[in-house]
Amino acid sequence: MNEQTNIQQLIRDLAKEKNAVIMAHYYQRPEVQEVADFIGDSLALAQQAAKTDADIIVLCGVHFMAETAKILCPGKKVLIPDADAGCSLADSCKAADLRAWKKAHPGYQVISYVNTSADVKALTDIVVTSSNALKIVQSIPANQPILFGPDQNLGRYINQMTGREMTLWDGACHVHSRFSVEALITMKKEHPDAPVLAHPECKQAILTLADVIGSTQALLNYVKKHTDTRKFIIATETGVLHEMQKACPEATFLPVPPEVTEGVGCACNECEYMRMVTLDKLYNCLVNETPEVIVNPEIAAKAILPIQKMLALS
Ligand code: 13P
Ligand code: SF4
C-alpha cells in the first residue's frame, strides 16, 4: 500500500466511524475526489447536503459551498478541510454593496449565483447555480426586472438566452475569465473534429467559439453521452477532466490555456482555492473535527429561503 492509498484508507475508516459524509466538487484534486462519498457540481452538492442523514458533512470545496451546506443543515456539523479556501468571485460581492445596489434598483428581483457569502444570500430573492440559472430565470414573470450577480459572464449568457431585463454585477471568476481566445482559435484549427465545451463563466468571446455551453455537470454529461468522440477541447477548470477521462478513457481532453501576462498568474487553469484541500488536511479535519463552518443563525434563517426556492425550482 503506498502512502496515498494508506491515508485514503484512514480517511474512509474515520468517516465511517464518525458517520461523516465526504462531498467533493469536481474541481478538487483527483486524489480527494477519489476518497469522497459523493462528487458533484455546486447544485448537486447543495441537493446532496439537503438530504444527507450523516452526522457530519465534510465539504471538500470552497467556503461558500460549505456555508450553503451548513445553512441547509443547521443541526449538523459541517467541516471544510481548509477554512481559507475562498472564491474570488464570491469575494467580489460584499453584502453592503449589494444592499446599495438593491436600493438603487427598487422593484427588481435579486438573483444571486450560489458563489456568494451567506450575508449576500440573505439579501437575495432566488439563488441559482450554473446548472439551473436558465430554468430559474425563465420561470420568473417576463416583465419582472432582475438584478443578477456576481458573475457577469453567466448573467450575460442567461440574458442572451432569455431576453429578460437584467442588470449585471461587475464580477467574474478569475479562472474562467482568463481562457485565451487566441489559443482556442489555434486549437480549433489544429483539431477541427474536437467539440469545444465551455462553462458559462467564460467570457463572451470564448462562448462564441464553443459548441456546447453548460455547467460542470452538463459538460461532463455531454462527454458521457459522446463516448465515440476521440477529442474534446475543454474551457473550464481542469479538475473535471478526472471524471471526464474516467467516462471516456480512450478520448483526449485538450484544456484551453489561460492568457498569461508576463509575471502575473500561472499558466495553468486550476482554481488555487479549490486546490487548497489536500488529503492531509482532509484527514486532520476528520480527526480534529475542525475547521467547522458556522453561520450566524439570523443570517442563516434569511439565507435558507432563496436556497430553498432554488432547490424547489431545480
Ligand atoms: P458549477 O459547479 O455550478 O459548475 O460552478 C463552477 C464553479 O466555478 C464552482 O466554483
Ligand atoms: Fe470561485 Fe472560480 Fe474558483 Fe469557482 S473556479 S471557486 S468561481 S474562483
CATH value of 89-172+301-313 in 3.40.50.10800, 3.30.420.340, 3.30.43.10, 3.30.70.20: 3.40.50.10800
pLDDT tens digit string along 174-207?
Answer: 999 999 999 999 999 999 999 999 999 999 999 9
pLDDT tens digit string along 26-72?
Answer: 999 999 999 999 999 999 999 999 999 999 999 999 999 999 999 99
Q: Do domains 3-85+275-294 and 176-270 have the same CATH topology?
A: yes
Q: Give percent of the chain with pLDDT exceeding 90.
A: 95
Pocket test of ligand 2: the residue of 43, 89, 176 to mutate, having most ligand atoms within 8 Å of its CB, is 89
Question: Domain limits of the chain?
Answer: 3-85+275-294, 89-172+301-313, 176-270
Q: What is the C-alpha separation between 66 and 76, in angstroms, rounded?
A: 12
Under CATH, which architecture does the 176-270 domain have?
Answer: 3-Layer(aba) Sandwich (3.40)
For ligand 2, atom 3, which residue shows the shortest CA distance? 271
- Residue 262: pLDDT over 70: no
- Residue 243: pLDDT over 70: yes
This prediction has a pTM of: 0.95
The CATH classification number of 3-85+275-294 equals 3.40.50.10800
Cα(237) to centroid(ligand 1), Å? 9
Cα(173) to centroid(ligand 1), Å? 10
